[in-house]
Structure 1
Amino acid sequence: MSLIAKGARIHPMAVVEDGATIGEGVTVGPFCYVGAKVVLHDNVVLFTNAVVTGRTTIGQGTKIFPMAVVGGDPQSVHHGGEETTLTVGDNCTIREGVTMNTGTAEFGGQTIVGNNNLFLANSHVAHDCRVGDNVIMSNNVMLAGHVVIEDRAILGGGCAVHQFTRVGRHAFIGGLSAVSYDVIPYGMLNGNPGVLGGLNVVGMTRAGVERAVIHRVRRAFKAIFEGEGSIRDNAASIRGEYADCKEAMQILDFIAADSDRALSSPNRGQKG
């Protein structure tokens, strides 16, 4: 039995399967499809021809535009039909043709998308991805499986992110870039193959990072990527010097964390 709030507005030409949960103020437009295991929290809007399927939860205030398919099965040859999940946070905008898949049982079965994110037309979030808050994915951005995108990262149109890759907070990925290796927080990557070109100073400034702090993080960046040792050894050697700088420590902690991928660097062939 569906649980449909009295204040929900469901067009008579929409299909809402028995079992769905529909919150107050939800709008479901004509020719939309809502699956039996879907939860739409308050004030979600589904524009005409939007599809929400699978065991999918959509946070309050999120808007899903025409021809988006949210909650489809993972596009993985290893998926055996297990029931897995997709969770999308509050106040996201999911534009035309966007696709988001549920997780795979082998890796925990969860795809998780945070709050206040903007997914432009035809972008894709694959199985088992983790997308933080306030992320912007421009048109045709492609996330492969198991990708992690941290808060406030911006991905330019048509870029592709390799499976298991991490993109740090406040990073900027240029349009049409190929992201094969992890991108540090505040990093700026462009090209195919992607090359780390420096720091996203514009993004840092917009985020309110003081000029003196930006200069300090630049010095840390230079020590990490231009020092005589490996990237990880260089990063470890300067931790004490930058212990009082939050932004630098975010970069150093990112580098120190376990990862399935090497690190993007200013030298294309260099791996961490």
Structure 2
Amino acid sequence: MNQISPLAYVHPEAKLGDNNIIGPFCFIDKDTVIGDNNTFQNSVTVHVGARIGNNNEIFPGASISTKPQDLKFKGEHTTCEIGDNNSIRENVTISRGTASRGTTKVGSNNLLMECVHIAHDCIIGNQTIIGNSTKFAGEVIVDDCAVISANVLCHQFCHIGSYVMIQGGCKFSQDIPPYIIVGKEPARYFGLNLVGLRRRGFSNDTIENIHNAYRLIYSKGLKSEAIKEIQEKLPKCKEIDYIIDFITSSQRGIIR
């Protein structure tokens, strides 16, 4: 049975699962689907197009599936998909998609801290941590297990790789490849995220291979030369394949 405060509004066309707690002054609009065992604290707004999974906790002032802040948006039907076991803190805003991708996606087991903004058509993976007041412009992709500190500003269309650590206050407009630390102003490469990789159980041999790959990437003037040398000199493994695929597919170029 759901526990819905008499001071909350739930549209009669909204679809709710079981054992949800809907606090006072929450507003849940039509065309919304909410799973089981979610907790919406007071003053949470869930707009048209929201698709929310199970076991999420959403804190006061959060606004899910907001209308995109994109002048190209003409009212087309789009969605905002939230997975399971997320903690979405105070005043987080997550826009729904536009005709570009049709949906904004946030995976599972993420922590989105206070005042994070995720714009239209972003794709956020699983087990990420995103710090207070960090802002993502439209169509940003964040891969699994990234750690992004507070007050980070990310340009539209950027791609952030898995297991990165981004220093607070950074601004960037290029892609950030996996496994590294980025910091300073202007934002730049500062070596491997060694602490994060060890905490996640990466072996010393794997870390050494990743380190050697980035030594080649950041010592060569041409991307093609670095990729060729990595393929020739380093043992083949999924981490090296991921790095190569990430860099060769980058549309904005990688951060230096």
CA distance in 2, matches of 1:232, 1:204: 27
CA distance in 2, matches of 1:200, 1:108: 31
CA distance in 2, matches of 1:226, 1:126: 35
Where structure 1 has 5 or more consecutive residues not aligned to the other structure, the ranges are 1-6, 266-272
Match of 1:220 among 213, 221, 224: 213
1:34 aligned partner: 28
2:144 aligned partner: 151
Q: Which amino acid in 2 is paired with 1:33?
A: F
Match of 1:235 among 202, 227, 230: 227
**How many angstroms does 1:130 deviate by?**
0.5
Does residue 8 in structure 1 map to residue 2 in structure 2? yes
Contact map agreement 2:209 2:235 (CA 8 A) in 1: no
1:198 aligned partner: 191
Distance 1:170 1:232, change over 3 A: farther
Contact map agreement 1:35 1:52 (CA 8 A) in 2: yes
1:129 aligned partner: 122
Match of 1:178 among 171, 190, 193: 171
Match of 1:20 among 5, 11, 14: 14
**How many angstroms does 1:248 deviate by?**
2.2
TM-score by length of 1: 0.91
What are the Cα deviations for residues 51-79 of structure 1, in whole angstroms up to 9, with x where unaligned?
A: 11121111100111000001101001111
More off after superposition, 217-226 vs 243-252:
243-252
Instruction: Give the secondary-structure state (helix, strand or coil) at the position aligned to 2:211.
Output: helix
The total of aligned residue pairs comes to: 256
Match of 1:119 among 99, 108, 112: 112
Match of 1:251 among 235, 238, 243: 243
CA distance in 2, matches of 1:236, 1:18: 59
**How many angstroms does 1:243 deviate by?**
4.7
CA distance in 1, matches of 2:97, 2:235: 37
Q: Which amino acid in 2 is paired with 1:193?
A: P
Instruction: Give the secondary-structure state (helix, strand or coil) at the position aligned to 1:71.
Output: strand
Distance 1:33 1:255, change over 3 A: same
Instruction: Give the secondary-structure state (helix, strand or coil) at the position aligned to 2:51.
Output: strand
Alignment of 1:40-189 (within 5 A): 40-105=34-99, 107-189=100-182
Contact map agreement 2:86 2:111 (CA 8 A) in 1: yes
Match of 2:253 among 246, 262, 267: 262
**How many angstroms does 1:240 deviate by?**
4.1
**How many angstroms does 1:207 deviate by?**
0.8
Where structure 2 has 5 or more consecutive residues not aligned to the other structure, the ranges are none
TM-score by length of 2: 0.97
Q: Which amino acid in 1 is paired with 2:69?
A: Q
Q: RMSD over aligned Cα, in angstroms?
A: 1.2
What are the Cα deviations for residues 212-235 of structure 1, in whole angstroms up to 9, with x where unaligned?
A: 2212211111011103x4124312
